[in-house]
Amino acid sequence: MAAKWIEMLVGSLEQKKQYKQNMARIEALPEPYHGAAKALHRYFLCQGAITDGDTLVVMLDDFVDLWERAVADGTPVRAIVGDDPVEFAETFVQAYSGKHWIDKERERLRKAIDAADGEEKSA
């Protein structure tokens, strides 16, 4: 009972557990993969693109898998991210469907303009 109440306030405890496990996997990566993965992870969070916990957990799991495979194969960091790490990060995030924080703002903007347009026409 208490767990359900807590989850209502803070979100899924299972998602938080999975997130922490994935962060531990990132911490375990050797350099230079560790530094690159941490930098990209920070960018993902600062970008604020995904707000859906399920999608975020799946994306992060796939992200860590990518880096672990790169370590195992000896793939250079630049071979993964290419010449533009920002483009890589944004393309990676776009590959995951789900709600994005900007979706809410886009809808709010559309409604505001529609309302303004309606007021303009009635004036």
The burial class, CB within 10 Å (0-12 / 13-18 / 19+), for 105 is exposed
pLDDT in the model for residue 96 = 82
pLDDT in the model for residue 68 = 98
pLDDT tens readout for residues 58-108: 999 999 999 999 999 999 999 999 999 999 998 998 888 666 667 788 899
Q: What is the distance, to the nearest Å, from the Cα of residue 90 to the centroid of all Cα atoms in its chain?
A: 10
* CATH node for 2-122: 1.10.1900.10
Would the pTM count as exceeding 0.75? no
Q: Rounded to whole angstroms, how far apart are CA atoms 44 and 93?
A: 7
pLDDT tens readout for residues 95-118: 886 666 677 888 999 999 999 988
Across the chain, mean pLDDT equals: 86
- Asked whether the predicted pLDDT for residue 8 surpasses 60, the reply is no
Indicate the SS3 state at residue 99. Answer: coil
